C-alpha cells in the first residue's frame, strides 16, 4: 500500500465533489484539468509502468493535453463566446452533491461485485474511477450549458483512464492514446460549436435546443 | 474483365461527373445522358455476347460483407428483363435531356441525372446479381434512388407526400424480402443463388412464396399493395415515370420469377393466387384508370392493370408446372414474359407522350386539354400507336402477348374442371380488361388530341424538339416491329422457357410450333393492314394534289355558335361506365344538377380516390398514429434527459451482467 497513491485518489474524489458544488465555469475547467494531471500521474506513483521512453512520452502527451491544451481551448471558448460565468445546474447544488454521494456509494457497491484477474495497487482505485465516470455523466445530465457538457465528457474520460491504468497497467496506454485523440477532436469541435451557438443565439443554453426536436405536437391538441 | 459490369460502372461514373459539374447545367446534363446511352449500348452488346456464349458473363468474387459474395451472371430470365431496361433507359435519357432543360436554373438537374443513372445501374445489378446480400443492396439502391427522383419537385406538398408514401411502401416490401432471403438462406446454408434449391415439402416453400408475393408485389404494384404507385408516378419527371413504370416495376416480377426457380415443386394454389391477384389488379386497375382526370395518374393505374395481366400469365404458367400441363405452363409464361417487354415499350411511349403534353401545355389535367393532334401531329400519331398497343389491338405488340395468354386459356378450356374454370375466368377478365382499356384510352386520346382546345394553354402548344420526338418514334416503331415480327422471335425463346419451367426444350419447341399458325396469320393480316393504310395515304395525297384544303373547327356540325366547352369532357365520356361500377369506384360527385330552364352558373366535379387507400391502409395508419401519439411524452427533445436514457440503459445492463 502506497500512501502517495491513496492521497492522490482522495484528491481525485474531492475534485469530483468540488466539480459538483462549484458555481463558476472557470473553476470547473481548472478542476478538470488538475484532476486530469493527477490521474495522469497515477501510473507513475503506483509504479505499474515500466519506465520506458515510449510510455513516458505517451504519459506526458496525455498530461499535456488534459492539463494544458484542453483548459486553454475551453477558457478561450469561454472568453470568445462571452458567456455568463454561472454553471446553472438543474435542481441546485445541494441536490447535485447528494447525487454525487449516492453515485459514489453505488460505485463502491459495483466495484465490490467485480472479480479482478490480478491484485490492484489500491482498493480505492476502482470505486473512484467509477465515481469519476458517473460524476461526469451527472454533470452532462444536470447542467444546461454546452461548455459544462464538454467538462462532463472530459471527466468521464478521466474515469475511464483511471480504470484502465488500474486494470491494464502498461498496455492501457495505446488505448488511452486513441481515446485522447477522440477527446481532442471532440473538445476542438465543441469549442467551435459553442462559439457558433453563442453567436447565433446569444447564449449556449442547451435547454433551448429543445426547439430543434422533430416531433411537433399536432395542431388539434 | 467482365464486360457486363462495364455499363453499371459507366452509369455511376457519369452520374458522379454530372453531379460534380452541377454548376454547368448543359455540360452536366449532356454527360449524364451520354453516360446512359453509351452504357446501354455497351450493355446491349454484352447481352448479345451472353446470348451467343452464356458462360462468358458469370463472375464470382468473395466479399468481406458477411454472407455476401460479389456473384453476377446473366441467364435467359435476366436477359429478358435487361433488354427493355437498356433500350427504354437509353431512349428516356435522350428524352430527359430536353425535358430537364425547362428546369435549368430552377432545379438541380445534375442530381436528377445522378439518381437516374444510379437507378438504372441498380436495376441492372438487381437483375444480374446472384447473391442475396448483393441483391438486397442493389434493391435498396434502386428504391432510394427512385425515391429521390420522385422528390424532384419536393417543394410541392403533394410530391413530398407521394415520396413519403413510396418510401414507406417500398421498405415494407423490403422487409418481407429480408424474411424470405433469410428463410431461403437458412434452408440452403448459403446466400448464393446457385445454392438455393428448396426441395423440402411442407409449409416452408409456401411461406417463402407468400413473402415473395408481398415483397416483390409491393414493388410491382399488385393490388392491394399498389397504393404508392398512383402517388409516385405522377410526381416524378416524365422520363423517370417512364423508366419506373416501364422497367422498375418489372424488377418485382423478375424477383418473383427468380424465387420460383429456387423452388423444386410449386403448389397449384400459388398459381391460383397469382391469377386471382392478376384478375383483381387488372380489372380494378383499369377501372380506376378510367375514372382519373390526371393523365399521369391514369397511366399509373393502367400500369397496375398491365401488371395484373402479367401476373395472370405467370399464374397460369405456375399452375401449368404444378399440374404437369406443358401447354399451359409454356404459353402462360410466354405470354406473361412477352407482356413485360411489351409493356415496357408502350407504357414508356405513353409516359413520354404524356410528358410531351405536360411539357408543352404545362398541365396534365385531361379536361383542360384538347385538339392537340393538329398542333403536334407526330407526337399525336406516336401516342395513338401506344394507345392502340396498350388496348391490345392487333397487329400491335400488346395484342400478341394478351393473345398468348388467351391461347393458354382456350387450349385448356376442356381440361379438368379446376383448370377449365380458371381458364374461363382468365378469358372473361382479359376480355373485360380489354374492353375497359379501350374505353379508358379512347377517352385519353379523344379528349386530349381530338376536338378543340379547351384552354389557352393548348392554343399555343407546338411540337417539341427532336430530342423529345425521336424517342417517341423509336418506341412506337418498337411496338409495331414486335407485333409484326413475333413469329420469328418466339422460337428463339425456348431456352428462356426451359429455364423457368424446367420442361425439356424439345417439348417446348413442339408446343411453340403448335402456336405458330395463328401468329403467322396475325402477322400476315397486320402486314396487309399496314400496306393498305399506306396505299390509302398515298391515294389521299394523290387525290388532294392541286386542290385547296379547307379547315373548319371540329364539332362544327349543326351548332350555330360552337364553343370548346360544348365538347364531351373526360368525366362525361366515361360517365355510363363509372356509374355502372359505382359500387367499386365510389366516385364522389360535387356540384348541382340543372333543374330550371334558365339555370345560373354552375359547376360539377368528380373525384375517385383509391378504395384500398381509404378503407384498408388509412385505418391501419390511423391506428399506428394513435399508438405513436401515446409514446410522445418520451420524445420531449431535452438533450440532458436523452443522455440520461443512454446512461441508465448502460448501467442497467452492466449491473444485470454482474
Task: List pLDDT tens digits, range B591-617.
Answer: 767 777 877 777 778 888 888 888 888
Question: Based on the domain organization, do B529 and B581 belong to the same domain?
Answer: no
Taking the Cβ of residue A41 and every Cβ of chain B, the question of whether any pair is shorter than 8 Å is answered with no
Across B612-626, average pLDDT: 87
Question: Based on the domain organization, do B391 and B278 belong to the same domain?
Answer: yes
Question: Chain A residue closest to B625 (CA)?
Answer: A218
* pLDDT higher than threshold 90 for residue B313: yes
DSSP B453: -
Nearest neighbour of A210 by CB, restricted to B637, B647, B658 = B637
Question: 621-640 in B: which are within 8 Å (CB) of A?
Answer: 629, 632, 635-640
Q: How far is the C-alpha of B594 from the C-alpha of B414, rounded, in Å?
A: 54
* pLDDT class of B569 with cuts at 50, 70, 90: confident
Q: How far is the C-alpha of B633 from the C-alpha of B289, rounded, in Å?
A: 44
Across B54-64, average pLDDT: 73
Question: Based on the domain organization, do B601 and B640 belong to the same domain?
Answer: no
Question: Based on the domain organization, do B535 and B505 belong to the same domain?
Answer: yes
State the burial class of residue A1 (Cβ atoms within 10 Å of its Cβ: 0-12, 13-18, 19+): exposed
Share of chain B above pLDDT 70, in %: 97
Nearest neighbour of B658 by CB, restricted to A113, A140, A207 = A113
Distances (CA, A) of B296 to B104, B292, B293: 23, 9, 9
**8 Å CB contact of A114 and B644:** no
CB-CB neighbors (< 8 A) of A90 in chain B: 640
Residue for cell digits 382468365? B426
Does residue B239 form part of some domain? no
At B555 the pLDDT is 63
Q: How far is the C-alpha of B424 from the C-alpha of B136, rounded, in Å?
A: 38
Nearest neighbour of A137 by CB, restricted to B639, B641, B647 = B647
Q: How far is B658 from chain A (nearest CA, A)?
A: 7
Q: How far is the C-alpha of B366 from the C-alpha of B218, rounded, in Å?
A: 28
* pLDDT class of A84 with cuts at 50, 70, 90: low
At B213 the pLDDT is 93
Question: Chain A residue closest to B642 (CA)?
Answer: A141
* pLDDT higher than threshold 50 for residue B457: yes
Question: Based on the domain organization, do B632 and B571 belong to the same domain?
Answer: no
Tell me if A204 sits within 8 A of A198, measured CB to CB.
Answer: yes
Question: Based on the domain organization, do B569 and B651 belong to the same domain?
Answer: no
At B451 the pLDDT is 81
Nearest neighbour of B638 by CB, restricted to A110, A140, A210 = A210
* pLDDT class of A204 with cuts at 50, 70, 90: low
Q: How far is the C-alpha of B480 from the C-alpha of B526, rounded, in Å?
A: 9
Does residue B65 form part of some domain? no
Residue-wise pLDDT tens digits, B8-56:
888 888 888 888 887 887 888 888 888 888 888 888 888 888 777 766 6
**8 Å CB contact of B655 and A110:** yes
Higher-confidence position of A186 and B426: B426
Number of domains in chain B: 3
Give the number of other Cβ atoms within 10 Å of residue B557's Cβ: 7
Tell me how far apart the terminal alpha carbons of chain A are, to the nearest angstrom. Answer: 65
| Angle at alpha carbon of residue B284, lines to B283 and B288, rounded to 5° | 125
Higher-confidence position of B105 and A85: B105
List the grid coordinates of B29.
446534363
Last residue of a domain, one of B539, B572, B598: B539
At A118 the pLDDT is 73
Across chain A, mean pLDDT equals 78
Question: Based on the domain organization, do B584 and B453 belong to the same domain?
Answer: no
| Angle at alpha carbon of residue A102, lines to A99 and A104, rounded to 5° | 110
Residue-wise pLDDT tens digits, B378-437:
999 999 999 999 998 888 888 999 999 998 898 888 878 888 888 999 999 999 999 999
Length of chain A in residues, anyone?
221
* pLDDT class of A221 with cuts at 50, 70, 90: very low
Does residue B36 form part of some domain? no
At A220 the pLDDT is 43
Does residue B311 form part of some domain? yes
Nearest neighbour of A209 by CB, restricted to B629, B639, B658 = B639
At B306 the pLDDT is 93
List the grid coordinates of A188.
476542438
User: Best interface-test mutation with A: which of B632, B647, B649, B650 has the largest number of A CBs within 10 A?
Assistant: B647
Does residue B135 form part of some domain? no
List the grid coordinates of B178.
429480408
**8 Å CB contact of B643 and A141:** yes
Does residue B14 form part of some domain? no
**8 Å CB contact of A215 and B635:** yes
Question: 3-class secondary structure for A26-74?
Answer: HHHHHHHHHHHHHHHHHHHHHCCCCCCHHHHHHHHHHHHHHHHHHHHHH
Taking the Cβ of residue B644 and every Cβ of chain A, the question of whether any pair is shorter than 8 Å is answered with yes
Higher-confidence position of B302 and B186: B302
Asked if ipTM goes beyond 0.95, one says no
At A175 the pLDDT is 66
E strand or H helix at B60, and its extent? Answer: strand B59-62
At A212 the pLDDT is 60
Chain-centroid distance of CA B353 in Å reads 15
List the grid coordinates of B422.
380458371
Does residue B522 form part of some domain? yes
Question: Based on the domain organization, do B419 and B337 belong to the same domain?
Answer: yes
Residue for cell digits 442530381? B111
Higher-confidence position of B111 and A212: B111
At A180 the pLDDT is 73
Find which of B470-484, B504-518, B630-644 is predicted with most confidence, using mean pLDDT: B470-484
At B352 the pLDDT is 92
CB-CB neighbors (< 8 A) of B640 in chain A: 90, 140-144, 206-207
Q: How far is A42 from chain B (nearest CA, A)?
A: 26
Question: Based on the domain organization, do B637 and B578 belong to the same domain?
Answer: no
At B636 the pLDDT is 73
Q: How far is the C-alpha of B424 from the C-alpha of B422, rounded, in Å?
A: 5
Across A152-156, average pLDDT: 86
Higher-confidence position of B644 and B124: B124
Question: 102-161 in A: which are within 8 Å (CB) of B?
Answer: 110, 113-114, 137, 140-144
Question: Chain B residue closest to A206 (CA)?
Answer: B639
**8 Å CB contact of A213 and B635:** yes
Q: Where are the domains of chain A?
A: 3-114+121-208
Q: How far is A113 from chain B (nearest CA, A)?
A: 7
Find which of A54-63, B61-70, B574-583 is predicted with most confidence, using mean pLDDT: B574-583
Question: Based on the domain organization, do B362 and B447 belong to the same domain?
Answer: yes
Non-local CB neighbours of A220 within 8 Å, separated by 6+ positions: none
At B654 the pLDDT is 82
At B1 the pLDDT is 44
Does residue B174 form part of some domain? no
Is B606 strand, coil or helix? strand
Residue-wise pLDDT tens digits, B141-178:
999 999 999 998 888 888 998 999 899 999 999 999 99
* b/e burial code for range A99-108 (CB count within 10 A of at least 16 → b): bbeebbebbe
State the burial class of residue B388 (Cβ atoms within 10 Å of its Cβ: 0-12, 13-18, 19+): buried
Q: How far is the C-alpha of A156 from the C-alpha of B579, rounded, in Å?
A: 72
Question: Based on the domain organization, do B583 and B522 belong to the same domain?
Answer: no
Q: How far is A30 from chain B (nearest CA, A)?
A: 23
Q: How far is A120 from chain B (nearest CA, A)?
A: 19
At A174 the pLDDT is 64
Q: How far is the C-alpha of B122 from the C-alpha of A160, rounded, in Å?
A: 45
Nearest neighbour of A141 by CB, restricted to B636, B640, B655 = B640
* pLDDT higher than threshold 70 for residue A169: no
Share of chain B above pLDDT 90, in %: 34
**8 Å CB contact of B638 and A113:** no
CB-CB neighbors (< 8 A) of B629 in chain A: 218
* pLDDT class of A201 with cuts at 50, 70, 90: low
User: Best interface-test mutation with B: which of A141, A205, A219 has the largest number of B CBs within 10 A?
Assistant: A141
Question: Based on the domain organization, do B299 and B446 belong to the same domain?
Answer: yes
Q: How far is the C-alpha of B557 from the C-alpha of A144, rounded, in Å?
A: 82
Q: What is the domain range of residue B622?
A: 612-657
Tell me if B303 sits within 8 A of B229, measured CB to CB.
Answer: yes
Amino acid at each position: 500500500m502506497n500512501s502517495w497513491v491513496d492521497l492522490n485518489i482522495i484528491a481525485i474524489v474531492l475534485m469530483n465533489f468540488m466539480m459538483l458544488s462549484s458555481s463558476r465555469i472557470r473553476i470547473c475547467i481548472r478542476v478538470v484539468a488538475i484532476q486530469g494531471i493527477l490521474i495522469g500521474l497515477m501510473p507513475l506513483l503506483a509504479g505499474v509502468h515500466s519506465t520506458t521512453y515510449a510510455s513516458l512520452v505517451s504519459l506526458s502527451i496525455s498530461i499535456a493535453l488534459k492539463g494544458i491544451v484542453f483548459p486553454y481551448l475551453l477558457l478561450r471558448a469561454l472568453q470568445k463566446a462571452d458567456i455568463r460565468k454561472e454553471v446553472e445546474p438543474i435542481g441546485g447544488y445541494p441536490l447535485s452533491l447528494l447525487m454525487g454521494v449516492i453515485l459514489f456509494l453505488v460505485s463502491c457497491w459495483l466495484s465490490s461485485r467485480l472479480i479482478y484477474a490480478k491484485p490492484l495497487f489500491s482498493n480505492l482505485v476502482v470505486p473512484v474511477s467509477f465515481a469519476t465516470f458517473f460524476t461526469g455523466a451527472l454533470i452532462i445530465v444536470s447542467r444546461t450549458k454546452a461548455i459544462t457538457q464538454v467538462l462532463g465528457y472530459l471527466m468521464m474520460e478521466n474515469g475511464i483512464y483511471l480504470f484502465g491504468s488500474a486494470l491494464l497497467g502498461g498496455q492501457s496506454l495505446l488505448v488511452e492514446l486513441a481515446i485522447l485523440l477522440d477527446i481532442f477532436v471532440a473538445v476542438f469541435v465543441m469549442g467551435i460549436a459553442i462559439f457558433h451557438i453563442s453567436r447565433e443565439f446569444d447564449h449556449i443554453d442547451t435547454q433551448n435546443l429543445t426547439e430543434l426536436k422533430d416531433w411537433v405536437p399536432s395542431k388539434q391538441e | 474483365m467482365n464486360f457486363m459490369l462495364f455499363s453499371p460502372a459507366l452509369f455511376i461514373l457519369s452520374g458522379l461527373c454530372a453531379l460534380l459539374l452541377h454548376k454547368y447545367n448543359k455540360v452536366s446534363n449532356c454527360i449524364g445522358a451520354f453516360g446512359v446511352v453509351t452504357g446501354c449500348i455497351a450493355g446491349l452488346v454484352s447481352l448479345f455476347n451472353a446470348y451467343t456464349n452464356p458462360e462468358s458473363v458469370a463472375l464470382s468474387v468473395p466479399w468481406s460483407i458477411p454472407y455476401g459474395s460479389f456473384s453476377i451472371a446473366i441467364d435467359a430470365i435476366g436477359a429478358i428483363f435487361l433488354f427493355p431496361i437498356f433500350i427504354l433507359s437509353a431512349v428516356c435519357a435522350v428524352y430527359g435531356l430536353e425535358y430537364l432543360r425547362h428546369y435549368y436554373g430552377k432545379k438541380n438537374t445534375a442530381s436528377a441525372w445522378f439518381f437516374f443513372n444510379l437507378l438504372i445501374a441498380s436495376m441492372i445489378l438487381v437483375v444480374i446479381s446472384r447473391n442475396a446480400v448483393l441483391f438486397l443492396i442493389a434493391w435498396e439502391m434502386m428504391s432510394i434512388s427512385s425515391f429521390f427522383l420522385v422528390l424532384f419537385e419536393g417543394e410541392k406538398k403533394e410530391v413530398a407526400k407521394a415520396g413519403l408514401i413510396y418510401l414507406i411502401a417500398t421498405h415494407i416490401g423490403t422487409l418481407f424480402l429480408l424474411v424470405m432471403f433469410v428463410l431461403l438462406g437458412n434452408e440452403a446454408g448459403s446466400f448464393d443463388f446457385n445454392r438455393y434449391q428448396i426441395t423440402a415439402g411442407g409449409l416452408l416453400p409456401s411461406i417463402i412464396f407468400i413473402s415473395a408475393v408481398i415483397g416483390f408485389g409491393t414493388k410491382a404494384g399488385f393490388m392491394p399493395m399498389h397504393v404508392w404507385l398512383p402517388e409516385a408516378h405522377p410526381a416524378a419527371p416524365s422520363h423517370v415515370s417512364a423508366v419506373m413504370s416501364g422497367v422498375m416495376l418489372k424488377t418485382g416480377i423478375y424477383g418473383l420469377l427468380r424465387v420460383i426457380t429456387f423452388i423444386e415443386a410449386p403448389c397449384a394454389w400459388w398459381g391460383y393466387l397469382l391469377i386471382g391477384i392478376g384478375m383483381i389488379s387488372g380489372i380494378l386497375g383499369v377501372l380506376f384508370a378510367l375514372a382519373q382526370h390526371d393523365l399521369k395518374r391514369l397511366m399509373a393505374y393502367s400500369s397496375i392493370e398491365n401488371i395484373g395481366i402479367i401476373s395472370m400469365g405467370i399464374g397460369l404458367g405456375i399452375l401449368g408446372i404444378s399440374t404437369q400441363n406443358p401447354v399451359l405452363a409454356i404459353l402462360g409464361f410466354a405470354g406473361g414474359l412477352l407482356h413485360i417487354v411489351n409493356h415496357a415499350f408502350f407504357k414508356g411511349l405513353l409516359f413520354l407522350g404524356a410528358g410531351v403534353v405536360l411539357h408543352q401545355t404545362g398541365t396534365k389535367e385531361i379536361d383542360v386539354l384538347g385538339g392537340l393532334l393538329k398542333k403536334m401531329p407526330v407526337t399525336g400519331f406516336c401516342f395513338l400507336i401506344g394507345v392502340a398497343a396498350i388496348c391490345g389491338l392487333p397487329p400491335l405488340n400488346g395484342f400478341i402477348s394478351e393473345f398468348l395468354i388467351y391461347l393458354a386459356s382456350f387450349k385448356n378450356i376442356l381440361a379438368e374442371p379446376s383448370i377449365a374454370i380458371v381458364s374461363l375466368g382468365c378469358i372473361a377478365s382479359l376480355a373485360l380488361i380489354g374492353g375497359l382499356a379501350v374505353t379508358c384510352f379512347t377517352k385519353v386520346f379523344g379528349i386530349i388530341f381530338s376536338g378543340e382546345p379547351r384552354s389557352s394553354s393548348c392554343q399555343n402548344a407546338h411540337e417539341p424538339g427532336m430530342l423529345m420526338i425521336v424517342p417517341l418514334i423509336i418506341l412506337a416503331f418498337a411496338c409495331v416491329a414486335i407485333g409484326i415480327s413475333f413469329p420469328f422471335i418466339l422460337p428463339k425463346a425456348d431456352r428462356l422457357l426451359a429455364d423457368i419451367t424446367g420442361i425439356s426444350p424439345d417439348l417446348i419447341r413442339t408446343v411453340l410450333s403448335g402456336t405458330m399458325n395463328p401468329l403467322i396469320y396475325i402477322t400476315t393480316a397486320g402486314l396487309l393492314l399496314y400496306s393498305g393504310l399506306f396505299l390509302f395515304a398515298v391515294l389521299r395525297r394523290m387525290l388532294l394534289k392541286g386542290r385547296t384544303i379547307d379547315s373548319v373547327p371540329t364539332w362544327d356540325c349543326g351548332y350555330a355558335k360552337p364553343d370548346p366547352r360544348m365538347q364531351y369532357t373526360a368525366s362525361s365520356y366515361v360517365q355510363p361506365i363509372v356509374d355502372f361500377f359505382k359500387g367499386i369506384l365510389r366516385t364522389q360527385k360535387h356540384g348541382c344538377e340543372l333543374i330550371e330552364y334558365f339555370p345560373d352558373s354552375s359547376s360539377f366535379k368528380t373525384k375517385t380516390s383509391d378504395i384500398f387507400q381509404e378503407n384498408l391502409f388509412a385505418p391501419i395508419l390511423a391506428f399506428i398514429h394513435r399508438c405513436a401519439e401515446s409514446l410522445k411524452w418520451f420524445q420531449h427533445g431535452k438533450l440532458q434527459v436523452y443522455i440520461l436514457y443512454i446512461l441508465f440503459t448502460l448501467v442497467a445492463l452492466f449491473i444485470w451482467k454482474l
